[in-house]
Structure 1
Amino acid sequence: MEGVKHIVAVASGKGGVGKSTVTVNLALALAAEGHRVGVLDADIHGPSQAQMLGIAEGSRPQPAGENSFHPMRAHGIQAMSMAFLVDTRQPMVWRGPMVVGAFQQLLTQTAWEDVDILLIDMPPGTGDIQLTLSQRVPVSGAVIVTTPQDIALLDARKGIEMFRKVSVPVLGVVENMSLYQCEACGHQAPIFGTGGGDKIAAEYDTRVLGRLPLTLSIRELADSGNPSVAAEPEGEVAQVFREIARQVAEQVASSSDDGPSISFSE
């Protein structure tokens, strides 16, 4: 894509595992590591990156020529989302072809400006958006977000298998909500189980990029538009994301500038 060196998909097999929160904090961590970063919110039905980045409701991108838009900017990163183009209070009651068309427009008509790594916040599942992405652009890799529980791992496996089918390397797994620590007494409890990230990483010959705790502040800061990496750059959570960012950047840099050749057959 013009203006973009590398594309990394952030995906999960199911919703509710914190994929969008991981995406925005990973983007901020990559920026803190010195990379020029963009975020494309590919969840057409439920875009959330605008709020997480603190971009005011009703903000609209400026045109860049006849058929393109400049990305919005927040916290030093570039961003594009359906939330910038429609009334987010109204439901997107669209069938598959309309959703795919909207995604293709966001993907191809955003005038990204010298982005080193474009993170694409994928919708849950393995449907039209995922297939369209793999067919339209060279993707350098994918990051899979999951919780340790067995049900989440079932769907995470599907996500990994899908990327394998379209020849997109899986850069690693982020295990979210891996451990809960009581803020009052300090007691730790693995609410969603243990070892899930290690298990799926070993099964698919990839790595666990990092483990994130089940912490109230992560949710509160993302909801407020000032995610953990921006609000608490020296905090424990930010340091976990910085380490994830370094691993992602290292793997992406080791791939060719043009990315892998993408093909799909049914």
Structure 2
Amino acid sequence: MNIQRILPRVYGILTNFNTCAPLTNTSTIRFQHDKSSINEHRAKVMAKGLPEKKPLPGVKSIVLVASGKGGVGKTTTAVNLACAMKVIEPDKEIGLLDADVFGPSVPLMMNISGEPMLNDDNLIEPLLNYGVKCMSMGLLVSGENAVVWRGLMVMQALERLTRHVAWGPLDCLVVDTPPGTGDTHLSLAQNLPIDGAIVVTTPQSAALQVTKRGLNMFDKLKVPIIGLVENMSHAVCKNCGTRNYIFGNETKQMAEQMQLEMIESFEVDPDMSECINSGKPAIYALPDSIHAEKYRQLANKVFKYISNKDKEEATATK
């Protein structure tokens, strides 16, 4: 079954906005609520609580990869993390969700293209490359078309990318979130059982300042932080081997202030750009490189974190 069959359900909300009739005779509207009725209404709204968190069928663990600021290598981290997890644990089933509706780049970095198909259960079948199941809005719209949507439409699209995709069975779903602290993060945290988040940053003061906001957001949403990943930490001179901290060296200090672990740090490497452009993650294109080794270490740390969390939850339920 062709994916075009479900596009009206993904985009259908767009057509509904045009049917809304404007208000008329606004001068006749009266607000007659006293303070007690307003408080009663607020109490009823608060009593409804947050949406119930429901797991994705067949998905054991969900890990978010986030950043406060764009352009810090967040998607590069998510892609190589997912691939590294598959490399070091070939028997594990790993998925990668590109939740950046407005700027999806996972299809380029994972070298995937084409329209996904629907299975007999009317669910989208994720595309597979490097042994990783992938889904992205970039697979559902033309690469030349801009997605110009309001928040409500984004949330409906995100619902399709999560609950209307045949993810299972998966041991871990890595979610590449958009930069910032927006609707996507709020929706994911309120609707899915998130095991933890990895926050990616660069050493510039501007990036670190926005990273703190992202960390505070996850704290309010009760999403555990697995740790910080620092990209572009320094550049190494090819002639003398000197480390040049061209963007500063403040990430470790911020991590200590926030009482977080900096679980990995990556130097600037021109070869990484070629990996991105060619659609071949560094874990495969440069398997003997320092970057590939660090991504394998990062994957091991994530597996260890998930294992420890599962043990703690099992102990708590006894």
TM-score range normalised by the length of the shorter chain: over 0.9
- Counterpart among 268, 278, 288 of residue 214 in structure 1: 268
Aligned partner of 2:63 in structure 1 is 8
Counterparts of residues 105-144 of structure 1 (less than 5 Å): 105-144=160-199
1: CA distance between counterparts of 2:147 and 2:295? Answer: 32
Secondary structure in structure 1 of the residue aligned to 2:60: strand
Aligned partner of 1:51 in structure 2 is 108
The one-character-per-residue Cα deviations of 1:203-227 (angstroms, maximum 9, x if unpaired) are 2222111111111111210121001
Secondary structure in structure 2 of the residue aligned to 1:143: strand
Q: Which one-letter code corresponds to 1:163 in the other structure?
A: F
Aligned partner of 2:209 in structure 1 is 154
Range moving further from structure 2, 105-114 or 124-133: 105-114
Asked whether the equivalents of residues 7 and 120 of structure 1 are also in contact (C-alpha less than 8 Å), the reply is: yes
Determine which structure has the larger strand proportion and give its number: 1
- Counterpart among 50, 62, 86 of residue 31 in structure 1: 86
The one-character-per-residue Cα deviations of 1:140-195 (angstroms, maximum 9, x if unpaired) are 00000000111111111111111111111000000000011244664431111113
- Counterpart among 293, 308, 311 of residue 239 in structure 1: 293
2: CA distance between counterparts of 1:136 and 1:124? Answer: 19
Asked whether the equivalents of residues 205 and 250 of structure 2 are also in contact (C-alpha less than 8 Å), the reply is: no
1: CA distance between counterparts of 2:120 and 2:221? Answer: 33
**How does the TM-score come out when normalised to structure 2?**
0.77
Q: Which has the larger radius of gyration?
A: 2
Asked whether the equivalents of residues 6 and 257 of structure 1 are also in contact (C-alpha less than 8 Å), the reply is: no
Range moving further from structure 2, 32-41 or 15-24: 32-41
Displacement of 1:247: 0.9
Aligned partner of 2:140 in structure 1 is 85
Q: Which one-letter code corresponds to 2:80 in the other structure?
A: N
Q: Which one-letter code corresponds to 1:224 in the other structure?
A: S
Asked whether the equivalents of residues 5 and 257 of structure 1 are also in contact (C-alpha less than 8 Å), the reply is: no
1: CA distance between counterparts of 2:210 and 2:312? Answer: 30
Q: Residues 258, 96 of structure 1: CA spacing in aligned structure 2 closer, same or farther, 3 A cutoff?
A: farther
2: CA distance between counterparts of 1:29 and 1:241? Answer: 6
- Counterpart among 243, 246, 254 of residue 308 in structure 2: 254
Matched pairs, number: 257
**Please, what is the CA RMSD of the aligned residues?**
1.7
Displacement of 1:41: 0.2
The one-character-per-residue Cα deviations of 1:26-80 (angstroms, maximum 9, x if unpaired) are 1111111203211000000010000100113xx1112123531111001111100
1: CA distance between counterparts of 2:121 and 2:86? Answer: 30
- Counterpart among 70, 80, 95 of residue 125 in structure 2: 70
Aligned partner of 2:244 in structure 1 is 189
2: CA distance between counterparts of 1:79 and 1:118? Answer: 10
The one-character-per-residue Cα deviations of 1:235-265 (angstroms, maximum 9, x if unpaired) are 2110011111111111111113897xxxxxx
Aligned partner of 1:201 in structure 2 is 255
Higher relative contact order (CA 8 A, sep 6+): 1
Asked whether the equivalents of residues 180 and 213 of structure 1 are also in contact (C-alpha less than 8 Å), the reply is: yes
**How does the TM-score come out when normalised to structure 1?**
0.92
Asked whether the equivalents of residues 8 and 117 of structure 1 are also in contact (C-alpha less than 8 Å), the reply is: yes
Secondary structure in structure 2 of the residue aligned to 1:4: coil
The answer for unaligned runs of 5 or more in structure 1 is 260-266
Secondary structure in structure 2 of the residue aligned to 1:171: strand
Q: Which one-letter code corresponds to 1:22 in the other structure?
A: T
The answer for unaligned runs of 5 or more in structure 2 is 1-55, 314-318
Displacement of 1:16: 0.7
1: CA distance between counterparts of 2:311 and 2:58? Answer: 13
Aligned partner of 1:263 in structure 2 is none
Determine which structure has the larger helix proportion and give its number: 2
Asked whether the equivalents of residues 286 and 292 of structure 2 are also in contact (C-alpha less than 8 Å), the reply is: yes
Q: Residues 6, 124 of structure 1: CA spacing in aligned structure 2 closer, same or farther, 3 A cutoff?
A: same
